[in-house]
Structure 1
Amino acid sequence: MKHLSIGIGVAAAALLASPALAETTYVTADRMLDVESGRYVAAPLITIEDGKIVAVSSGASPEGANVIDLSGHTLMPGLIDMHVHLDGRPEYGGYSGLQFSDRFWSVIGAANARNMLHAGFTTVRNLGASDYNVVGLDQAIEAGWVEGPRIVGAAHALGATGGHCDQTFLPPSFDAKSPAVGDSPDELRKRVREQRKYGAEVIKACATGGVFSRNTAPGIQQLTLEELTAIADEAHFWGLKAAAHAHGAAGIKAAIRAGFDTIEHASYADDEAIKLAKERGTFFSMDIFNTEYTLSQGAANGVLEENLNKERELSQAQRDNFRSAHKAGVRMVFASDAGVMPHEDVGGQFRVMVEYGMTPAEAYRAATVNAAEALGQAGKVGVIKPGAWADMIAVDGDPLNDVSQMTDVDAVIKGGVRVK
């Protein structure tokens, strides 16, 4: 059965690049959720040509037409996860990943991409990967060789020598370091150019320490304001968005002042940081679900006690600050940090987003229109409107009253092709 499922996946992916998409396709369902208004539209009729939506109306499809019939279901835009790591798995924590060859992670990436697509995430932003694994994966998906979501990838994440985005697990004799570290504004400008040269479509930098590294404290700033400003300025010069990994309040505020478009994690955001983000229109990208997996399964997966302790210390603060930031009106996007947790389970985050202050409609906007705007792709993904890619999901219940629907979507359409 493994070979059969892979064959079906490749065949479906190949259709994405097929000239056959010139045929008009219609999608029908009982109703459609307009994520912007938070209201249902009855009996939607979506017209698709060449993988894109050309019309949204209501009623029956033409007789004899090519129809994806989702009767009994609610139609929604394809979801967007703004913080994933496709070439990682949480089952291999700490040093356990060293048992595999480098290319193992490339293959894992293909499996994770398919899992995320089938979970309803038709677009993802990959914020950091080794060896340009996800750049190659993106190319393979676009060429139709494997099945997966649209990827906006960062390649290697930038950081300071010895910081969270450097290699921190091996002794000096290995001379192990990330190719994207830098220790001055000029060095980090060059790192931006190198990552863009080799396929980065967004730039990520680590402004503070992190949980899953050694000898780094999440709350401590690791890049100066001048260095962060150089990174954001250079990214924007090349037309790229900039994302800052930042747990601590000082690093969050420095990254906002430097001009970063999104703040990842934002765990210890204080009142000043929240006010500053709202004033500047900076998006918070807060992964408030994965802590449940890490604290329940991390030790069995080889995660070191040092890292588990850091997760225990910040997880509740991050959730509380998610509530505070949302209440204050900070713009929020959906972010799971998949790779720290299983990619196929990230839909469970909607439950926690609602538990910590969002309505279901607000949570869905975070994973659609807000995320699309933060990507710089408003109107192209995250909506069911003319001109957008024909990326949609369907659930069989009432998602405005039951966010658990998002943990097992019934149908996924990418580029006008039903892939689940």
Structure 2
Amino acid sequence: MIANAALAQDRQLILVGNLIPDAATGPVGPATLVVIDGKIVEVTTQREIDKAGVADAMEADAVINLRDKTVMPGLIDLHVHLTGDPGGDFWKEATEPAEWGVVVGAKNALLTAKAGFTTVREAGSSQYSAFSLRRGTADGIIPGPRIIAAGPALAIVGGHGDVSGFTEDINKVLTSGYSCTGAVQCAEKVRKASRAGSDVIKITATGGVLSQQGRGLEAQFTNEEMRSIADTAHSLGLKVMAHAHGARGIEAASRAGIDTIEHGTFADEAALKVMKTNGTAMVPTLMAFQGVSEGLGKGIYTPVVEEKIRMTLGNVGKAVTSAKRLGVPIVFGTDAGVFDHGRNAEEFQLMVNAGLTPREAITSATTAAAKALDMDMEIGRIAVGYSADLIAFDGNPLDDVTVLEKVDWVMVRGRVID
């Protein structure tokens, strides 16, 4: 539930033990924050703490005492699936109504926010379920993070993201209506997604691990189709995120003008150099592979999927190491929904294991992720005028990123999440 939701409109004073305004700044010690109408309106550090703290506390509608905690900006996950839980993907299209995704999504939105993630990019859902969640969290009806929603992903007919694994008559009934063939039809589907309410366009540029289509993980859209998608989306002011595993599919997506590569599992030096040249960011989703590996041999996945999982596991993290070396932007995303929601912060240690410093890993989930969303003047740091998206915990994540796996207090848009 949302505690004291009405206080989003009042003057809240937050007493901070150790403030980290952003990853670049690092800890600055004790501070006070004033929040009004969901926005940060004052940030007072140690120099003024003695004079400002008591007086402000007397004038505040609410005082939140976090003197024994570290406080930093809320985290951003650029790849989640709030409307789904792990396992059973093959059958869900045939057994669960789309409305059930909103029920599941409400549960997962709360878990995600309580884990410290105050903004997420919903990377594929049924037609309106993520849009309903987006509105619910924005209005404070559903406790959860700010949601940037893609809606259904664009896919090739029979490819990853389209329905497959059933007989053709069943596939036809269950299809999302967003598969396309040819540049003209793909442009039409982008416009359809925009009309329906998508904040970002999601495409499946290559084959995928968890779909029933077992024909590999390389490019599925043609170059012309991907260019049409990127150009059309950009003309509408929308960015494009591309699920992509195989190196040549990654390279083609970047050349086409796609904004972010999701997963990037088999990205080689040639693909990464194209990404560097085009400014295409990588969203590694290392936790996705952690999650699927935990499900192997338990009857969760079909033999087709298990074979693809085993094929990818030996490469997890290698592309991240190479991307850092070549200067490719790396931004935070987990693919939560493939694993249990609420575990998102476990991605940080996996990124560090792949070669990022703690500061780089935290930047990827704050200022860098905000920039990828074109929201870097609203979220990703603690500063006057920014959204009051805050988390509190013990310790210093710049020394040990695992402290972010246990967040004690969360505020989203000025609302405290319980």
Which TM-score bucket, shorter chain as reference?
over 0.9
Which 10-residue stretch deviates more, 159-168 or 21-30?
Answer: 21-30
Q: How does 1:317-336 map to 2 (within 5 A)?
A: 317-336=315-334
Equivalent residue letter for 1:358 = L
Provide the residue aligned with 2:188 in structure 1.
190
C-alpha deviation, 1:136, in angstroms: 1.1
Instruction: Provide the C-alpha distance between the structure 2 equivalents of 1:297 and 1:27, rounded to a whole number of angstroms.
Output: 42
Provide the residue aligned with 2:127 in structure 1.
131
Residue of 236, 239, 244 corresponding to 1:238: 236
TM-score by length of 1: 0.93
CA distance change for structure 1 residues 63 and 376 in 2, over 3 Å: closer, same or farther? closer
Provide the residue aligned with 1:158 in structure 2.
154
Instruction: Provide the C-alpha distance between the structure 2 equivalents of 1:402 and 1:97, rounded to a whole number of angstroms.
Output: 41
Cα deviation, 1:202-237, whole Å, max 9, x if unaligned, reads 001111100011224453210011110110111111
Instruction: Provide the C-alpha distance between the structure 2 equivalents of 1:228 and 1:75, rounded to a whole number of angstroms.
Output: 42
The answer as to 2:110 corresponding to 1:114 is yes
Which 10-residue stretch deviates more, 79-88 or 211-220?
Answer: 211-220
CA RMSD of aligned residues (A): 1.7
C-alpha deviation, 1:27, in angstroms: 1.6
| Alpha carbons 1:94, 1:302 under 8 Å: kept | no
Q: Secondary structure at the match of 1:212?
A: coil
The answer as to 2:365 corresponding to 1:378 is no
Identity %: 36
Instruction: Provide the C-alpha distance between the structure 2 equivalents of 1:279 and 1:218, rounded to a whole number of angstroms.
Output: 27
Instruction: Provide the C-alpha distance between the structure 1 equivalents of 2:93 and 2:259, rounded to a whole number of angstroms.
Output: 32
| Alpha carbons 2:160, 2:208 under 8 Å: kept | yes
| Alpha carbons 1:93, 1:302 under 8 Å: kept | no
| Alpha carbons 2:289, 2:316 under 8 Å: kept | no
Equivalent residue letter for 1:196 = S
C-alpha deviation, 1:100, in angstroms: 3.6
Instruction: Provide the C-alpha distance between the structure 2 equivalents of 1:299 and 1:167, rounded to a whole number of angstroms.
Output: 24
Equivalent residue letter for 1:274 = L
Which 10-residue stretch deviates more, 44-53 or 146-155?
Answer: 44-53
Provide the residue aligned with 1:51 in structure 2.
38
Equivalent residue letter for 1:22 = Q
Instruction: Provide runs of 4+ in structure 1 moved above 6 Å.
Output: none
Provide the residue aligned with 2:293 in structure 1.
295
The answer as to 2:163 corresponding to 1:167 is yes
Equivalent residue letter for 2:43 = V
| Alpha carbons 1:219, 1:249 under 8 Å: kept | no
| Alpha carbons 1:82, 1:335 under 8 Å: kept | yes
Q: Secondary structure at the match of 2:175?
A: coil
| Alpha carbons 1:86, 1:113 under 8 Å: kept | yes
Consecutive unaligned residues of structure 2, counting only runs of 5 or more, are none
Instruction: Provide the C-alpha distance between the structure 2 equivalents of 1:245 and 1:305, rounded to a whole number of angstroms.
Output: 22
Provide the residue aligned with 1:35 in structure 2.
22
Provide the residue aligned with 2:68 in structure 1.
72
State the aligned residue count: 407
C-alpha deviation, 1:295, in angstroms: 1.5
Provide the residue aligned with 2:209 in structure 1.
211
C-alpha deviation, 1:91, in angstroms: 4.0
Provide the residue aligned with 2:306 in structure 1.
308
Provide the residue aligned with 1:250 in structure 2.
248
Provide the residue aligned with 1:4 in structure 2.
none
CA distance change for structure 1 residues 192 and 216 in 2, over 3 Å: closer, same or farther? farther
CA distance change for structure 1 residues 181 and 93 in 2, over 3 Å: closer, same or farther? closer
C-alpha deviation, 1:50, in angstroms: 0.9
Instruction: Provide the C-alpha distance between the structure 1 equivalents of 2:153 and 2:383, rounded to a whole number of angstroms.
Output: 34
Provide the residue aligned with 1:3 in structure 2.
none
Instruction: Provide the C-alpha distance between the structure 1 equivalents of 2:85 and 2:93, rounded to a whole number of angstroms.
Output: 9
Which 10-residue stretch deviates more, 349-358 or 299-308?
Answer: 299-308
Equivalent residue letter for 2:83 = D
Instruction: Provide the C-alpha distance between the structure 2 equivalents of 1:153 and 1:315, rounded to a whole number of angstroms.
Output: 28
Q: Secondary structure at the match of 1:290?
A: helix
Cα deviation, 1:54-105, whole Å, max 9, x if unaligned, reads 2222112524123211111111100000001111100434436744444322
Q: Secondary structure at the match of 1:110?
A: helix
